[in-house]
Amino acid sequence: MSARLIESLATTEALAEVFSDASILRAMLDFEAALARVEGRLGVIPAAAAAAIERAANAPDFPVADLARETLRAGTPGIPLVKALTERVHASDPAAAAFVHCGATSQDVADTALVLLLKRAEALLAADHARLDCALRDLSTKHQNTVMLGRTLLQPAPPVTLGLKAAGWLGAIRRGWTRLSASFAEARIVQFGGASGTLAVLGDQGSEVGRALAKELGLGSPDAPWHTHRDRLAAVIAACGVQTGSLGKMARDVALLMQGEVAEAAEPGGAGRGGSSTMPHKRNPIACSLSLAASHRVPGLVAAFLSAMVQEHERAVGGWQSEWPTVAAVIQATGLAAASMAEVAEGLLVDETRMRANIEATRGIIFAERISMALAPSLGRDAAHKLLQQAMQQSIAQHRRLIDILSEMPEVTRILPAAKLGELDASESYLGSAETFRARLTSTE
């Protein structure tokens, strides 16, 4: 796995590779190579110099450990990278070395490299969100008629369907992905502004070079450099925060359904998945745990990024330097949560018999609202409510069904015949608009 052991519960293998040293270095060198190519074509630098720079940028053996050490002293990875690249160009073509990094500043390299990494990460997140969307649609459709307890404040409530619950997860996650995808698209832009964001060293060619560089890298070209304007990146990070919250909500629901006392659903198992080092009987909600851990970490990271948005003048002191590890951690956490919940949705084990048994275990008190509404027109709302409270207390104390208690009350049987009363604790006939809502949430139109 590309991730360090300490990050092994915080990322997927694919996202760890995206933010690996080799990947970051490649993104920065891609910027330098693309800049040289563009400036060579436009006559800003000699074509021979552009070719020499591109060859050097494609060398595989840049000393990453040295670059990291020097970055700590320089305050930016761009300075040691450009130094190392210039030395390599000089070794093969001394004249070309003078044209390395022409017109750019160190933050141009770092910001554009980060955007290139986000572009790669977006594709990975999109794939797992597509998996999750498909799996939740299938789960919702399969269980559109699977009745289960509704639960409010963790207590039994009138019934819902598993199909509606899954559709609720899907709706939130779809909305979140729409926001996140849009923010990714807005942030997919090049950074090229030079020393003070004016590209003055390039004269009247600065804007043309910037547009050509963006095209060369497959990125958008902004109206102006954005060195201290971090709103686009902030939108990505904030959208990740919302999305991990929605993924965490799904994870929390599934984990609660897996509790032994509930036992209505379970994550898919498999070798090394969900076991315990001391209790062989356990199936732990591991994928849910990973998603919940991500949803706990990300809000603080979002706050850290937002607090660093207040950046000074044309270049920041400390704010910009805080971003790389924050962005990497947020994107990886979001990706891990999405991948984990896709795994859960694709293989969720559902015990419909247990769902039915848990409804029956309430002895019908979850239908008190329904019965009260049936009695209210004749008795009045307050009187019906008091009567139901009395009946429920007896039902709980005597471990008897609520409708059996009610059938012994003359004030009830005068209004509701036994046959009618017997229908009032049937789950399937008290689902209201559940299917309408489920269908709306899962619609692809």
Active site residues: 276, 315
Read off the tokens for 348.
């969720």
- Coil, helix or strand for 156? strand
| Cα 3 off chain centre by | 19
Q: How far is CA 316 from CA 308, 309, 323, in A?
A: 9, 9, 11
CB-based contact 166:139 (threshold 8 Å)? yes
Short-list 20, 50, 19, CA closest to 34: 50
Q: How far apart are CA 430 and CA 416, in angstroms?
A: 17
- SS3 annotation, 92-145: HCCCHHHHCCCCCCHHHHHHHHHHHHHHHHHHHHHHHHHHHHHHHHHHHHHCCC
Region of 149 (left: φ > 0; alpha: ψ -120 to 50; beta: rest) is beta
- Whole-number Å distance between alpha carbons of 82 and 28: 9
Token representation of residue 84: 């190392």
Q: Using only the alpha carbons of the chain, give its radius of gyration.
A: 30
Phi and psi (nearest 5°) for 72?
-60, -35
> Which residue, among 268, 275, 273, has the nearest Cα to 344 in the 3D structure?
268
The label of the residue with tokens 């898919």 reads 268
- Separation of alpha carbons 421 and 236, rounded Å: 54
